[in-house]
Structures are given as structure tokens and as C-alpha cells.
Amino acid sequence: DMIFEYPERPSTQDWSKHYPAYFRAPSSESVETKRAASPEADEETLPKRGPAAATTDSTKCELSKDQLAKVEFADIGCGYGGLLVALAPLYPNTLMVGMEIRTKLVNYLQQRIEALRAFQHDLLQKQSQGAEVEWVDVRAKLSKEIADLAGPHDPSTPELHDNGETERLAPGHYENIASMRINCQKYLPNFFEKGQLSKIFVLFADPHFKRRKHKARIISSTMLAEYAYVLRPGGIFYMITDVKDLFDWNQKYLDAFPLFERIPDAELESDPAVPCVVNSTEEGKKVARNKGSKYLACYRRIEDPTEP
């Protein structure tokens, strides 16, 4: 089994390295000073030592922006991050995270995000000084990195499409998105509190065609229970695939789960996230180029009638 770093519980997750504009991790010096000054202090009141080190739960540390900032959108199996990049300027004050099990893709996406942030900051600075902005082809740089990750003859290598993110200022400047390496089938509740998320995306997931691999599918009764736990009532679960058999499988489990109800297609027309879900991922663009079909269904998290 692969080794993953994960917090014991959501309040011990260090978000500062993912969203540096929103979270400030306590320095190790200040933590040790507090420990020395209060050797008998309750450990729960002090940041942890070790990898899950600096507690940066937004209710416990100083933030440079919203003091109640919490991640609200989660893209499960985010791949190359096309959805996050598209959603970031639409919801500039909402923190969203892409969760992916493949290390190379996580590293690539974080580099993509950091490159976009750097360009945005450079653009801001030069505009404030009245200087002419030199266009930077971030897409070309990252496309080369994709090729290096996938190998020279990999037909599944996606194409990056620049939708203006390297040419103009974007609301939020991509400070609100990040990628993490996580096995969501094991550790999802370690990262999110009950009802913390308002949107969950499962887009073009691995269909795991072989029957013996069906247990690895990202939508199942067990996983839906975890999604329902971290998704607040009224939150939306987005699902899309180009594989009809997988769509039928997903729909069967979602329709049967008591805490999700299907959102009528007509209602989705006013949801600004839906066009991004359908068109913005690298996998979705590949399906469109190949003139394939896309099967979309969205479900609303409803109140649990058994809860007071």
C-alpha cells in the first residue's frame, strides 16, 4: 500500500502550504516557546509536532484574509486540474482543492497553480507601476512538463487550453485552489469536518471495467456515506463520465442513497459550475475532440431526517 500523509482529524490539517494567501502557519519557534512557558498545558491547545505539524485550522490561527476560511469545493480525482483552473475565477473567495492519488499529477498541478499565481502577481505589480506587461506562455512550459510526465509516446497525454488565464488578471489570482495527494477512499473524513463542503466533483473517473475491480470505483454505497458526511445539506454532488455503463452504475447508487436527490436538468442550466464540469477538464476536452458522449448527473444533499 502507498504511504500517505494525512491528519488525525480535520482541525490538525496544515492548509498553509496549499493556500499561503489565506493561512499562516505558526513558526516552530513560537510553538516551542509556548511549550516551554506552559509545560503542563493541554496538548490540544498547542500546535502539533511532526508532519501534521502546525495546526492551521482557521478557527485556531491568525489568517491574512478570511478568519473563517475553510475549503468548500473538492474535486475527487482532479487529474491535470482543468476544473479547478476554470472554477477559481468564478468563485474567487471560495477555497477549493483537487485530490488525486497519482503523485506525478499532483506535483504537476501544484506547479501549474504556482505558475498561474506568479504570473498574476507579476501582472498586478506591473499594472500598478504602469509598465507594459510581457505575455508569458505558461501553457507551453506546462505542456512540456506534461509530456515529460507521460512519456513521449503516450496517446492519453492531454492538451492544455489557455482560456485567458495567462493573459489577464483573474479574480482571486488562483490563490484559492490547490492540489493534494490523497487516497479519498481511505482518508476523506480526516480532511473535512461534517458538512464542511458545498460542492463535490467526480468527473470522468476511472471506470475500472473488470468486475473484480468494481470495488475500486469512486462511487459506491460506502463512499456515498462519506461524501454525504462531508457535504452540507443543500450542497451539490456533480458526476460526469463518458462511459455509459459507469454512468448507470453511479446513477443506481446515487438514486438509492437516502441523503441525495437528483437535480432536474432544467435547474442545472442556471448553475455556473456546470459548463466547467462538462467542458473544462482535460479528459472532457479529449472526449469532445473524439466526438464522444458525456453523461452528467447532479445530486443535492438533503437533510437527514434522523438528525435532530
- Sorted by sequence, the CB contacts under 8 Å of residue 49 that are 6+ apart come out as 31
Distance CA 136, CA 187 (A): 38
Q: Which domains does the chain have, with CATH numbers?
A: 18-69 (no CATH), 73-301 (3.40.50.150)
Distance CA 166, CA 158 (A): 18
Q: Give the angle 287-170-184 at the CA atoms, nearest 5°.
A: 50
Q: How far is CA 251 from the centre of its chain?
A: 22
Determine the average pLDDT of the residues in 212-221.
Answer: 87
Nine-digit cell string for 256 = 438509492
Distance CA 76, CA 218 (A): 9
pTM exceeds 0.85, yes or no: no
Active site residues: 206
Distance CA 302, CA 196 (A): 14
Nine-digit cell string for 281 = 477538464
pLDDT category of residue 231 using cuts at 50, 70 and 90: very high
Q: How far is CA 110 from CA 6, 51, 100, 115, 224, in A?
A: 18, 19, 11, 9, 27
The reported pLDDT for the residue numbered 164 is 58
pLDDT in tens, 266-280: 999 999 999 999 999
Distance CA 62, CA 7 (A): 20
Q: How far is CA 102 from CA 74, 106, 147, 159, 183, in A?
A: 16, 6, 16, 19, 9
pLDDT category of residue 307 using cuts at 50, 70 and 90: confident
Q: Chain-wide mean pLDDT for the chain?
A: 81
Checking if the pLDDT of 53 tops 50, the result is no
pLDDT in tens, 62-79: 334 444 689 999 999 999
With contact defined as beta carbons under 8 Å apart, do 183 and 101 qualify? yes
